[in-house]
């Protein structure tokens, strides 16, 4: 009989929350009793691969199906099984992961494309934004500077230069032109009416892309005023990239304006291409599939506004944060690249291109949309190039997938 006491709570949660089928495969860390021999890959059906064997403790990192994990718990020599938690997908990982540098090589960095960040403002003195902000407008009464940190983080994912990190934390479209509509106060909250006013201001500035890493609670059907306004902006030629929300993993958790009918609604994935548990799920309350697409949004290191402590600060200039808030600016930056590469694309064309060039994560559409975006493939489709096999492997995230603290032991000990 399976022995659930040998399953660490992080693994139980992973299996329960995602309601994984027996055949679903996970990366796990298997700890056995001292002096015993590990269970080799293929020695058990569903135990498919041993990634590392550790020396400091009697453990190994393995891929196993849910059924195999339960079977392992029946073995006397097995003491504990953990889920191999992924760690930090830095901006220097997430941007290559989705293929942005390959588009940059073609000369497309979002140069001249106007992108509005409708958020908590931007820190204009951060080195990553030097000379990059065209306009700032305050709708909160607090002044346009970012006294929360969220907007600066988001803006740097869209188009930060990475100047404060010698280029390490460069955004997706590092030469786009930024517009900041401050609609959320220093506590990160605001009102729908201010957000609507901020969008209208951005449209009046002739921006081509709007990033909205914000929303309200509760399922919706896309008929509320904010959603309708966002759809109208799309119809006027402005690409609206909107966060799905962080109310997952339950169904029908996409709030307004993520539920708007024509916008690009963005869910969050990890550097190992799993959809984050927190990422809101569809369908909308009128039965439409959401999100539309996923972008990286787990532990993203990007700009930290002066005097703020949002997320987990890395140093004086950068902080780490997770959320569909962080996934959405990857999408907005991508849109800027596509618009530079193929001027005249309509918002709907861009949405279609993004959604038809994803990597299918083989999850329900109401979890992943069509999958995790691939910028280079989207670029090829936008400019009409025939897709060709990648000349180099897809950049490997650093640390590598499945690189929780346990896997770090491998780096120290030279495991396997």
Give the active site residues.
119, 150, 325
245 binds another protein (CB under 8 A): yes
| Cis-peptide, bond into residue 257, ω within 30° of zero | yes
150 binds another protein (CB under 8 A): yes
Point out which span in 105-113, 168-176, 181-189, 376-384 binds another protein (CB under 8 A): 181-189
Exactly one of 308, 320, 358, 374 binds another protein (CB under 8 A); that residue is: 320
124 binds another protein (CB under 8 A): no
366 binds another protein (CB under 8 A): no
DSSP string, 22-73: TT-EEEEEEEE-TTPPP--TTSSTTEEEEEEE-SSSSEEEEEEEHHHHHHHH
Exactly one of 21, 57, 225, 412 binds another protein (CB under 8 A); that residue is: 225
Number of chain residues interacting with another protein (CB under 8 A):
64
Exactly one of 243, 335, 345, 378 binds another protein (CB under 8 A); that residue is: 243
Closest distance of CB 276 from another protein, Å: 8
Q: Which is nearer to another protein, 145 or 298 (CB)?
A: 298
Q: Which is nearer to another protein, 58 or 323 (CB)?
A: 323
- In angstroms, the Cα distances linking 1 to 31, 159, 238 are 19, 54, 58
Q: Which two tokens stand for residue 216?
A: 């309200």
272 binds another protein (CB under 8 A): no
CA–CA separation, 227 and 19 (whole Å): 31
Exactly one of 144, 323, 333, 369 binds another protein (CB under 8 A); that residue is: 323
Q: CB-hemisphere CA count at 13 Å for 57? A: 16
b/e sequence 67-105, b meaning 16+ C-beta within 10 Å: bbbbbbbebebbbebbbbbbbbbbbbbbbbbbbbebbbe
CA–CA separation, 415 and 394 (whole Å): 24
Interface ranges with another protein (CB under 8 A): 10, 85-88, 119-120, 148, 150, 153, 183-184, 188-193, 195-197, 199-200, 203, 213-216, 218-221, 223-226, 228-229, 232-233, 236, 243, 245-248, 256, 278, 285, 298-299, 310-313, 319-326, 404
């Amino acid at each position: 009989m399976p022995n659930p006491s040998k399953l660490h709570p992080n693994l139980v949660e992973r299996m329960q929350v995602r309601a994984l089928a027996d055949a679903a495969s996970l990366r796990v860390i298997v700890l056995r009793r001292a002096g015993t021999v590990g269970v080799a890959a293929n020695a058990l059906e569903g135990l498919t691969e041993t990634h590392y064997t550790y020396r400091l403790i009697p453990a190994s990192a393995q891929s196993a199906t849910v059924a195999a994990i339960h079977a392992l718990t029946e073995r006397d020599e097995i003491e504990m099984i953990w889920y191999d938690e992924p760690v930090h997908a830095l901006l220097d990982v997430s941007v290559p992961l989705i293929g942005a540098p390959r588009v940059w090589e073609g000369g497309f960095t979002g140069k001249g494309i106007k992108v509005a960040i409708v958020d908590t403002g931007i820190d204009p003195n951060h080195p990553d934004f030097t000379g990059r902000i065209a306009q700032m407008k305050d709708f909160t009464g607090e002044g346009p500077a970012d006294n929360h940190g969220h907007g600066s983080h988001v803006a740097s994912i869209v188009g930060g230069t990475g100047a404060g990190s010698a280029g390490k934390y460069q955004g997706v479209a590092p030469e786009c032109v930024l517009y900041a509509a401050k609609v959320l106060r220093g506590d990160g909250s605001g009102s729908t009416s201010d957000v609507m006013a901020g969008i209208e201001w951005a449209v009046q500035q002739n921006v081509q892309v709007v990033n909205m890493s914000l929303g309200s609670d509760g399922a919706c059907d896309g008929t509320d005023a904010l959603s309708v306004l966002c759809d109208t902006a799309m119809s006027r030629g402005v690409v609206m990239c909107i966060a799905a929300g962080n109310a997952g993993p339950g169904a029908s958790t996409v709030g307004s304006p993520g539920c708007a009918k024509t916008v690009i609604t963005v869910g969050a994935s990890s550097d190992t291409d799993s959809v984050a548990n927190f990422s809101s799920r569809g369908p909308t309350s009128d039965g439409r599939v959401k999100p539309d697409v996923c972008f990286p949004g787990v532990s993203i290191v990007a700009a930290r506004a002066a005097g703020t402590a949002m997320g987990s600060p890395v140093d004086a200039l950068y902080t780490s944060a997770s959320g569909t808030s962080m996934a959405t600016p990857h999408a907005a930056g991508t849109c800027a690249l596509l618009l530079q590469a193929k001027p005249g694309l309509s918002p709907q064309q861009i949405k279609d291109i993004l959604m038809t060039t994803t990597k299918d994560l083989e999850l329900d559409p109401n979890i992943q949309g069509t999958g995790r975006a691939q910028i280079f493939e989207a670029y090829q489709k936008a400019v009409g190039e025939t897709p060709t096999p990648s000349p180099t492997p897809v950049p490997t995230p650093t640390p590598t997938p499945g690189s929780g603290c346990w896997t770090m032991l491998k780096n120290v000990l030279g495991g396997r």
